[in-house]
Chain A
Amino acid sequence: MTVNIKKYPGTPLSEKDFAEGKILFNYDELRGDYAWDTGIAIGRYLAGLKEGVILGARCKACRKTVVPPRIVCEWCFRPMDQYVPLRDTGQVNTFSLCYVTWDVRRIEEPEISAVIEIDGASPLHGIMHRLGAVDPQQVHIGMRVQAVWKPPEEREGAITDILYFKPLEEV
């Protein structure tokens, strides 16, 4: 609100008012069940993750490889030519240290989300995932990382089949 506003009309309520029964209210929980159709390309991508492979899709005409795979090339609008297995390494394109959970509770150790350019995809093409096994203060753009997978028997065809990306020790 602007500094020019000195008075805030209204009836502010505090958590205490609710706890002490000073205010009546209706609490409700709605069911938000959903089923999201994975489609052709993302379905194949998730099946690939179960097998421990990150798949991209390639357009030969544009010489472009995107990840996650899509069935249509976003440059020429023609169908993609093929799925291509990519490496499970890459580099951090951008990242964020997040000190709150999704439902806005404070946490001591930050969750580190990052966009990771996957090796084998076209430059600047990557996926969003978490970073782990790393000192948050050491994370930087351009950092080389590698996927840490769930054991094969625990994978279910989900993006969480990759637990996180960890710093890659170059040999």
Chain B
Amino acid sequence: MMTLLERYPDAPASWLGQMPVTSRYTFGLAGERFFRAIKEEGRILGTRCHRCQRTYVPATMFCERCLAELDEWVDVGTFGVVHTYTLLHVRPDGTCRETPEVVAFIRLGDGGLLHRLGEVEPDAVAIGMRVQAVFKSAPEREGSILDIVCFRPLG
């Protein structure tokens, strides 16, 4: 009689499979205008709440503090400050990088963007560092955060 408490030697130990997961994300009303400005004008836009004296970057439709609808759009420029950063020594698939990639949160207005830092030695990166957005050329831009290649140190 076979026991039911042990694995059968010829049994497949596991079942391997793949689930196709695809997604299509639209940016919403404010996001659409934000990314259009990046694509068509190479500009980074925010929205301003007068009552709260805040400029949201990326642009939002509503003030998250007072919930007022925001309709004043402001160009926040392409210069920002490194708020915090991290060095990535592995790729998404787990393999090692020869040189680490630098990912930072860059303050723009009263918000900011998460992006790559480029044209900089990882050891030279510091919190408070002034950086500038590097855009792809206009024909190459397609309305994505990757229309900004990276942020590079200023000067």
Interface residues of A (CB under 8 A from B): 11, 13, 18, 23-38, 40-41, 43-44, 46-47, 50, 57, 69, 71, 79-83, 157-158
Contact = CB atoms under 8 A, between A and B. Distances in A.
Contacts of B6: 40
Contact of B24 (A11, A25, A47, A79): A25
Interface string B1-23: 11011111011111111111111
Q: In the complex, which range does the number of interface residues on chain B fall in?
A: 20 to 34
Contact of A34 (B2, B17, B27): B17
B125 to A, nearest CB: 27
B56 interface: no
A163 B24 CA distance: 35
Given A11-B29, A23-B26, A32 B21 contact: yes
Contacts of B29: 11
B54 interface: no
B3 to A, nearest CB: 9
Given A38-B11, A79-B4, A29 B22 contact: yes
B4 A83 contact: yes
Contacts of B2: 44, 82-83
A34 B20 CA distance: 11
Interface of B: 1-2, 4-8, 10-27, 29, 31-32, 35-36, 39, 143-144
Given A24-B143, A40-B5, A44-B8, A30 B21 contact: yes
A13 B13 contact: no
Given A24-B32, A24-B35, A32-B18, A13 B26 contact: yes
Which A-B residue pairs are the 4 nearest by beta carbons? A43-B11, A32-B19, A24-B143, A30-B21
B136 to A, nearest CB: 15
Contacts of A18: 24
Find the residue from A32, A43, A80, A81 having the highest chain B CB count within 10 A. A43
